[in-house]
Amino acid sequence: MKRTSSTALLRTTASAALLLLASGHPLTAQTIAITGGTVFPVTGPRIENGTVLIRDGVITAVGSNVVIPAGATRVDATGKWVTPGLIHAGSRAGLGIASLFQQSEASVQGEVTPSFSPAEGIDPAAITIPLARTGGVTTGIAAPGGSYFRGTAVAIQHAGSRLEDVLISPAVAMVLDLSGSSKAAGGGSRAGTMARTRRIFRDALEYARRRTDYQRGAMQELAAPAAELEALLPVLRGEMPILITANRAIDIRNALRLTQEFTLRTILSGAVEGWQVAGEIAAAGVPVVLEPNTDIPSFDGLGARLDNATLLRAAGVKVIIAQGDPGGERQLRFGAGNAVRNGLTWDDALAAITRIPAQAFGLEGYGTLAVGSVANVVVWSGDPLDFASAAEMVYIRGQATSLHTRETELLERYRTLPPRR
C-alpha cells in the first residue's frame, strides 16, 4: 500500500517519472562515475582509461582526467568498452505488447494517413523493451508500417512505465513509401505514385494558403482529407524530416526529385541500390537508413549487395544502420559488425547506430558521450559489434536499468530439468 502511494507520488511529475528506474529502484539525485574503461564518445577518438561522469541523468564530464566528486557512485569499467546507448532507427520494440505479428500496433488501414502516430499504441510494459536493452539499445525510432503515406515515426527510450516516461517524440519524421509496394497507391505505376504524391504536396500547400476558402467550401476537392494535409505541413515547411522508403535506383532518384521540388529534409530508408546513385544521394545531403545484410535480389532491388553501406559512405553519405527482423533490436550491433565485415570502418559503424541517427532524426543530446548529452550509456564486456561481448550495464537517463528478461527466467527454470513424471 505504502509502496503504491509512493510510486504514485513519484509519477505526479513527468520529469521525476523519467528518472524512475525501469527496475523499480527509488529515485535519487545521483552522481555516477564510470571509470577505467575504453570510452567511445563518438564525437571524437576513443579514450583509454576514460571516465564518464553522470549527474541527474546528464553527462557532465568525459575524459581521461576527470575529477570524481566525493559521494559519486563509482562503477569500475576496467577492461570494458563504454559507448553511448544504441539508437535503432528500424525499431518495433514497444509497438505491441510482444513481437507477435497479431499484436502489432504499428499501422492503420489506409494509404494516406500522415496524421497517424503510433505513439499511443506503445506499451512501456512490452516484453520486447527489456530485450532491446540487452542489446544495448536505449532508444528506438519506430516508423509505422503499411504502404505509401503511413504517418509519423516516433522516438522512445527503453525505460519507464508510462507513455509520458518513454516517449521522446511522437513525430520525428513523416514516413512515405515510394518503393514497389506503393505502386497500387499510384494506380499501378511508380509514375502514378509520383504524380499522386505531387498532387498531395501541392494541395497541402494550397490548403495552407487558403484555409478560409477551404472553410467556406470554396476549394475544389483536395487530394486528401484536410487533417491529413495539415499533418504534412511541417514537412513542407522543412520543420520535420521525411523518411522515404526507396530501394531501386529509380525510386531513389524519384525521392531526390521530390526532395528538390518541395525542399524536403529527406532521409532515405532501404536504399538497396543506393550504391548506384551514391554520388547523387551525397550531393543532396540525404542520410540513408539501411540494413547491412541485404543482398538477396528482388524486383525492388536487383542490385542488392553487401557493401552498399561501404560504397555509400565512401561517396560521403551519412549511413544509419537498422535491422528489420523481429528481435532486430538485439541484432542491431551485429548488423553494424556485419557492415564492418563488408568494408565499413568500425568508427563509422558505431556512429551509424548512435550519433548519425540522432542527428538525422533531430534527437539532440542523444547518441554521443559528450558534456550535456542525455546519459544513455552502455558498458560492454568487449567490442560491442562482435559476438563474444555483451552489454553488462545499460544506463538510461543516468539510471541503471534491468537486463532481466523473460528469457532469463525461462533459462533459470529449465537450466536443470525437473525429474521425469
Binding site for another protein (CB under 8 A): 98-101, 128, 273, 275-276, 293, 295-299, 302-307, 325-327, 330, 334, 337-338, 340-343, 385-388, 390, 406-407, 410-411, 414-415, 417, 420
Q: What dihedral do alpha carbons 166, 167, 168, 173 form, nearest 10°?
A: 140
Q: Least distance in Å: CB of 319 to another protein?
A: 16
CB 198 within 8 A of CB 257: no
For another protein, give the closer residue by CB, 248 or 265.
248
Q: Is the CB of 229 or the CB of 336 nearer to another protein? A: 336
- The residue among 330 and 397 lying less far from another protein, judged by its C-beta, is 330
Nearer residue to another protein within complex by CB, 211 or 413: 413
The nearer residue to another protein, 206 or 307, going by C-beta atoms, is: 307
Helices 249-261 and 190-209, packing angle to 10 deg: 20
Nearest distance, CB of residue 279 and another protein, angstroms: 15
**Minimum gap (Å) between residue 114 Cβ and another protein:** 29
Nearest-approach distance from CB 131 to another protein, in angstroms? 8
Q: Which is nearer to another protein, 206 or 295 (CB)?
A: 295
User: What is the smallest separation between the CB atom of 411 and another protein, expressed in angstroms?
Assistant: 5
Question: Closest distance between another protein and the C-beta of residue 71, in Å?
Answer: 33
Beta bridge partners of 151: 175
Taking the complex as a whole, how short is the minimal distance between the CB of residue 343 and another protein, in angstroms?
8
Phi and psi, residue 324, nearest 5°: -85, -20
Shortest separation between residue 182's beta carbon and another protein, angstroms: 18
Residue-wise over 188-225: b if at least 16 C-beta within 10 A, else e? Answer: eebeebbebbeebbbbbbbbeeeeeebeeeebeebbbe
Q: Angle at CA 170, nearest 5°, toward 352 and 174?
A: 65
For cell 478560409, the residue is: 212
**How far is residue 205's CA from residue 336's CA, in Å, rounded to a whole number?**
40
Q: 228 or 251: whose CB is closer to another protein?
A: 251
Q: Which is nearer to another protein, 283 or 411 (CB)?
A: 411
Nearer to another protein, 163 or 304 (CB): 304
**Shortest Å distance, C-beta 117 to another protein:** 24
